[in-house]
Chains A and B, each alone.
Chain A
Amino acid sequence: MSTTVAILPPARLGQRMRLSTLPRQLLGAAAVAAMVAGWWVIAATGMVRADLLPSPLDVWDALVEVTRDGYRGTTLWGNALSTLERLLSGFGLATLVGVPLGLWMGSNRVTHAAVDWIIQFMRPLPPLSYMILLILWLGTGDLSKSALLFLTAFPIIVASAAAGVRGVKQQRIQVALALGASRAQVFRHVIMPSAAPMVFTGLQIALAAAFSTVVSAELLAATDGLGWMVISASTFLRNDIIILCILILGALGFILASLLRATDRRLIHWRGRDS
């Protein structure tokens, strides 16, 4: 993501110095604080029924309660871990299979022609639509969920890896070959580094998609996990626990995305300097 730049010329910005001297982070924090305060006021004055909109304090109490006593025989961390485990098993397998397949498809015309239509067919399908089939085939256990997450991430990863390889400039490959590189050397030293940024972009998109899908799958059919906690809390009208779970899910999604972004910057330090 590119950062926002001030596109107004300095003279114009000068007129607005007073507010813009506040550091950006402070402004963001102030906005969040204002929202929490607004939430608090609405909840505290009883404008909305307390069981519909618990106050921030109630949510905090719910966090304390759930960390201390657990939730219906499960612990918060156990549920978060189950969600992460499913997510990473499906996503990990899709990475292990999808990246090599995508690279192969990118460098081999025959493979591409034979497999690409399947990938292109799967990619626009909302994963939950075939969840029902997977449950029918594999049962309601973890196997169907792992398969679902695999199938969510797999086409995205394959398509981006293949596109990455196919986007490598032909001259580069030809120069390397002309200079006496072997096919393996070309693949290792020319194609891989050129395709890596695309591969990593695909992994990031796939992880975001899988994260969304794992929660939906847990809402639909699970006995643990954060998604299950949300749906279970909703049947008891425990809105404080629902909001708590949403906040945790938001934080988790943010952490996962940041982790991959950081890895990306470390590993693919040449991204964007490629012409």
Chain B
Amino acid sequence: MRTLPSWVITLLSMAVVLAIWIGITSGGLVRDLFLPGPLDLWDGFMELVQDGYKGRPLLEHVGMSLFRVIAGFLTGAAAGTLLGLGMGYSPRINALAAPFIEFLRPLPQLAYLVLLIIWLGIGETSKVTMLFLAALPVSAIAARDGVANVPPERVSVALALGASRWQVFRYVIIPSALPEILVGARLAAGIVYGTLIAAEIIAGSNGIGWMILDAGRFLRSDYVFAGIGMIGITGILIDRLLLLIERRVVHWAGR
């Protein structure tokens, strides 16, 4: 074992897990209501791809979920970043906004979803508002810390060389804070995505989260597994995409 390359060990480990999975499902140890075999799972997935779920194509469910994530994330991250920049720039804004941000941040998002549904109805508005509120504090704190960590010498030098306050903000503070802002955005996207799935499970009528809840009610565990797999892959893709943007935009990070 010690001489094998790591990737071989990983493959071996995957093979063992797969073998156990096939073993307990085909041996009839576990009923396929609870755990579908790999082949059943694949069949279920192909069925979903071809026929959709409950009269809607699969892509529509995924698309609905993605639309909500993007709408909530973009608005929340934009507003949070602006607020955070202000909070980092001015101690007064920070003192005013910090209590709300610190309250909102650890608050379980689903708890206020219930209130938002009562206020705004069960449609898109309440979900997107919740995602907005989920992204806001994370982005705000990242932007605030990004600004706070700008070396004061840089600002002093720029001012000494005759830069206006706006120029300092635009050409010194923003570039220095951008790496942290983008890391915060990636964190916020993960939180928004996880929150959305939970929201669709608790109060949805479409979307990929709702799909697995509904499939679970009908004991279609192959659909549930396929749905979980798709949720995982979509989540990873969102994260990778943001990482790619991050590397492109802040190619100077770490230098």
Contact = CB atoms under 8 A, between A and B. Distances in A.
Interface string B220-233: 01001101100110
Interface string B1-37: 1101011011011100100000000000000011000
Nearest to B234: A124
B219 to A, nearest CB: 7
Contacts of A129: 197, 201, 209, 212, 227-228, 231-232
12 contacts: A4-B88, A4-B91, A7-B147, A27-B96, A31-B99, A31-B100, A113-B13, A114-B12, A133-B221, A215-B111, A219-B114, A249-B107
Given A28-B96, A112-B6, A129-B227, A7 B111 contact: no
Contacts of A126: 193-195, 197-198, 209, 231, 235
A273 interface: no
Nearest to B106: A253
A20 B93 CA distance: 11
A127 B198 CA distance: 8
Contacts of B197: 126, 128-129
Contacts of A44: none
Contacts of A112: 6
Interface size class of B (residues with CB under 8 A): 35 or more
Contacts of B107: 246, 249-250, 253
Contacts of A2: 145, 148-149
B155 A211 contact: no
B94 interface: yes
B108 A136 contact: no
B144 interface: yes
Interface string A237-253: 10100110110011001
B138 to A, nearest CB: 11
Contacts of B231: 125-126, 129
A261 B105 CA distance: 15
Interchain residue pairs A-B with the least CB separation, the first 7: A253-B106, A215-B108, A113-B9, A132-B216, A126-B194, A27-B95, A128-B198
Interface of B: 1-2, 4, 6-7, 9-10, 12-14, 17, 33-34, 87-89, 91-92, 94-100, 102-112, 114-115, 117-119, 141, 144-145, 147-150, 152, 155-156, 159, 173, 190, 193-195, 197-198, 201-202, 209, 212-213, 216, 219, 221, 224-225, 227-228, 231-232, 235-236, 239
Contacts of A133: 216, 221, 224-225, 228
A59 interface: no
Interface in A112-167: 112-118, 121, 124-133, 135-137
A3 B148 contact: yes
A168 interface: no
Contacts of B195: 126, 212
Given A3-B148, A27-B96, A253-B108, A116 B10 contact: yes
B152 A234 contact: no
A208 B106 contact: yes
A119 to B, nearest CB: 12
A257 B219 contact: no
